[in-house]
Chains A and B, each alone.
Chain A
Amino acid sequence: MTDTKTSSLVPSAVYDRLRRRRAAERRFRFYGLAAVGLALMMLVFLFVSIVRQGYSAFTEHVITLTVALDPAVIDPEGRRNSQSLSSADYQRLVRESLAALFPDVTERAERRLLFGLLSSGASHRLRDVVMREPARIGTTVVIETPLDDDADRFLKGLVSPDVPESERRIKDRQIVWLKALHAGGGIHNRFNTTLFTAGDSREPELAGILGAVVGSFYLMLTTVVLSFPIGVAAAVYLEEFAPRNRFTDLIEVNINNLAAVPSVVFGLLGLAIFLDFFGLPRSASLVGGLVLSLIILPTIIIAARAALKAVPPSIREAALGVGASKMQSILHHVLPLAVPGIMTGTIIGMAHALGESAPLLVIGMVAFIVDVPVTPLDPTTVLPVQIYLWADSAERAFVERTAAAIMVLLIFLIAMNALAVIIRKKFERQW
């Protein structure tokens, strides 16, 4: 720090210049730090904004109704078979039980407003109860059923009553009723199980991600079953057997480039080859899995080759030295030692595949599908596509569900990446 003392020997011009250079240095360093800060802030902001929009979807408001199971409405002919029971007018029963709580509401328009508080799922709930225990017809049952999404959002405080009535979907009268019900304990807030146990629905309060999660699971299953063995076999060939020639060079360049081809192009490939040419079923996770396998194959091959390369040659020589064939030395020694590395690469590739949606849109996996798929050949949606579909919906209540679905997706991804890190840490081997 000698130069801070102004010596008469140093001309002031030099000194000034030094000071300016110092300032430039500080500025430069600050830019760097600011860039890091900015990038991290964006990350935090992204997460915060999603959690802020989505946390409310994990609870739902349910209304407790006491419904009289009037045999005259449910089964006037007294047949009691499943067909007559399933087609009965449960909606009327549910509505009557709600109307009974507000005897002064008689006008038709008002009654419609009142019934608007109920989800259309209420009658299904009631039907399920009756179908399960037909003996209860004639008694009264107590059911809990979700409120309509607008009422739910109001009770969660997501709709401000200060907005002019014409600009909100929940009306002043409804607010009065809701408050009365809430005060009387007829409504309470609980964990939103529907979100995790239902398939898609047009009604936000009845929509869930189970179908998408199961679909994603099947998609991942097909993808890993196809791409893992093929990727590993290709990597073993390229790393251990392939002679260095034009053809293998071509494969090499190819794999590197394939890893950077936009995924939507793979979607076009899938559309032209699997759907148009081979006529495979649309929206099935099998076809999605085929396309995703092609997408992550380069990732797996590259990771597997790196893992194979990291196994020292002395192991190969040791095996050959006791008379193992080359294939035996690889299958018995080299490959098992490379497995952790291959697994890590595969899991990271799978995490990418799990979040992939563009190619799936292109091959038409965007249908509105209510049923939870049972086999990989059933039509299905997957989590990212479900997110895309919900984000596109008009109802505000789907926004919070979209964010909640994103949170679930991110949790899966974080878990997968954490698993990859753990495997890497646990099996990391210094030769």
Chain B
Amino acid sequence: MGTLFCDRVRAIAGVVFQVVLGIVKDAVRQGSTRLFMRMHVLMLIAVLVLVSVFAFGIGHSRAEAMTCPRHSLPQYHGQCAALATFLPGLVVVALWGALESPFALILALDRLAETPLSPLAAAEGHFLTAEIQALAAGHGSRKDPALMMAAQHYAELRQTGFVLMAVLAVGASLGGWALAWRRLTPACRARNSIEHALKIFMILCATLAVLTTVGIVVSLVFESWRFFNHVSLMDFLFGLEWSPQMAIRADQVGASGAFGAVPLFAGTLLIAGIAMMVAVPVGLFTAIYTAEYAAPRFRALVKPLLEILAGIPTVVYGFFAALTVAPFLRDTGAALGVAISSESALAAGGVMGIMIIPFVSSLADDVMIAVPKALREGSLGLGATRSETIRHVVLPAALPGIVGGILLAASRAIGETMIVVMAAGLSAKLTANPFTAVTTVTVQIVTLLVGDQEFDSPKTLAAFALGLVLFVATLFLNVIALQVVRRYRQQYD
């Protein structure tokens, strides 16, 4: 068993060596500085891996050679040594990756401040950083000597920084290894350490779910806050005019754009309302049929088929709405003498309704199936017909679940993006007429962000404010829906 492991370690080391060699060759051939840097980091990590593999192999064979009874299997001792070797180095690399570039920049800018600067450059503040970085990477456009010097300094700083870091990382790794070496005794609880490390990793992973939410909330709130420095909250929430197009020159009239989001809210509600008007009746009656009337085999066939509707990518629905349904509605309207715009709310809402049918029907079907048989039999035994039983007994009993499903579907409709982006248009009109074009919150988020984004223009920031509204609204619906459904589940469990 021992020789087998050593062979394997040697084989792995060989492969790693090949990879490192390949990277070096590549880096030499490519010659670009940025790539070189990246390759260097990869190489460094490869070296750390290599050292850890050796640490594993040696730890393993040392543990195997122990004569007195040992607490853990040799493999755990090996893993322990490898982990103790790899982690410190990785931490150093990660810290460097996060900090080196800003740090070098600060130093380079300091240097720049010492030199007499061309007044033009001094006026530009933070544009300098981008220029320095570009120059250092070899594709800057401005050949200001002071800037060039700063850029060179910056590049040199990064080079030395990298070398220092590499030494530090390898040193940390070897230090870790040394500690692990000393700990490697028969009594060492290597398995417990490894399991502990694994458990910490798991906890970090589980925390990521919370971090995602925190990330969403923080980024939305932060950017929205910046937006509300430009536009007042009241104007945003209650303003009736939306025209975010910024003037090109600052002295033009209406330079700041108008950010009254009411037309967007109205458009969103109109389209979502149309979608619900399609999805709720069709979904509910579908659920009633599959849960109450259909034979089990029919149900087993139809339910997955319907769920396909929810699995089709929304971009496909967008295409269908924009290129099939909308022209059809427009032509039909023209034939009937009704003016239907070719980007009507009706087309987008109708197609969205088709998409969310399964959201309503699936959950409604589940909860209706879960209504106890005794209730149904009680009603049928009184001489009620099936439809009367359904209407007076089953539906009321299943109501919370059904409402939950409808709320989830509504949240889905409000947050749906591609269908409306492709089929609903951009005109922010305040109207309840389903035949005209309206725009929605999600459409505007996408429109505001497509193209060049500057992170301090209100136009870009407005997207985050809209995103915040969307997040809060859907979260509200989801929380209520999940709560209602959970209540319902408890009732019959």
A–B contact via C-beta, under 8 angstroms: yes
Chain A interface residues toward B at CB < 8 A: 21-22, 24-25, 27-29, 31-36, 38-40, 42-43, 46, 49-50, 53, 229-231, 233-234, 236-238, 241-242, 250-251, 253-258, 260-266, 268-269, 271-273, 276, 294, 297-298, 301, 325-327, 351-352, 354-358, 361-362, 364, 366, 384-385, 387-388, 391-392, 399, 402-403, 406, 409-410, 413, 417
Instruction: Please pick, from B216, B450, B474, the residue contacting A361 in the complex, using a CB distance under 8 A.
Output: B450
Contacts of A257 in B (CB 8 A): 213, 475, 478-479, 482
Chain B interface residues toward A at CB < 8 A: 191-192, 195, 198-199, 201-203, 205-210, 212-213, 215-216, 219-220, 222-223, 281-286, 288-290, 292-294, 302, 305-306, 308-309, 311-320, 322-324, 354, 357, 361, 385-388, 390-391, 408, 411-412, 414-418, 421-422, 442, 445-446, 449-450, 453, 455, 463-464, 467, 470-471, 474-475, 478-479, 482
Instruction: Please pick, from B208, B220, B309, B354, the residue contacting A234 in the complex, using a CB distance under 8 A.
Output: B208
Asked whether B219 lies within 8 Å of A268 as measured between CB atoms, the reply is: yes
CB of B484 to closest CB in A, whole Å: 13
How distant is the Cα of A251 from the Cα of B212 in the complex, in angstroms?
Answer: 11
Asked whether B313 lies within 8 Å of A28 as measured between CB atoms, the reply is: no
Asked whether A384 lies within 8 Å of B315 as measured between CB atoms, the reply is: yes
CB of A151 to closest CB in B, whole Å: 22
Asked whether B442 lies within 8 Å of A358 as measured between CB atoms, the reply is: yes
Look across to chain B and name the residue whose beta carbon is closest to the beta carbon of A232. B205
Contacts of B470 in A (CB 8 A): 262, 264-265
Contacts of A32 in B (CB 8 A): 285-286, 288-289, 292-293
Look across to chain A and name the residue whose beta carbon is closest to the beta carbon of B417. A358
Contacts of B446 in A (CB 8 A): 264, 358, 361-362
Contacts of B192 in A (CB 8 A): 325
Contacts of B199 in A (CB 8 A): 237, 241, 327
How distant is the Cα of A352 from the Cα of B386 in the complex, in angstroms?
Answer: 38
Asked whether B219 lies within 8 Å of A273 as measured between CB atoms, the reply is: yes
A22-B385, A399-B323, A413-B311 known; A258 and B205 CB under 8 Å? no
Asked whether A384 lies within 8 Å of B313 as measured between CB atoms, the reply is: yes
How distant is the Cα of A253 from the Cα of B206 in the complex, in angstroms?
Answer: 12
Look across to chain A and name the residue whose beta carbon is closest to the beta carbon of B486. A256
Contacts of A413 in B (CB 8 A): 311-313
Instruction: Please pick, from A255, A273, A391, the residue contacting B422 in the complex, using a CB distance under 8 A.
Output: A391
Q: A257-B479, A354-B313 are in contact. List 12 more A-B contacts (CB 8 A).
A: A25-B386, A237-B205, A238-B206, A257-B478, A260-B478, A261-B471, A262-B412, A264-B467, A268-B216, A388-B422, A399-B323, A410-B316
Look across to chain B and name the residue whose beta carbon is closest to the beta carbon of A255. B209
Instruction: Please pick, from B201, B312, B391, B450, the residue contacting A233 in the complex, using a CB distance under 8 A.
Output: B201
Asked whether A36 lies within 8 Å of B219 as measured between CB atoms, the reply is: no
Asked whether B286 lies within 8 Å of A35 as measured between CB atoms, the reply is: yes
How distant is the Cα of A262 from the Cα of B441 in the complex, in angstroms?
Answer: 12
Contacts of A326 in B (CB 8 A): 195
Asked whether A21 lies within 8 Å of B422 as measured between CB atoms, the reply is: no
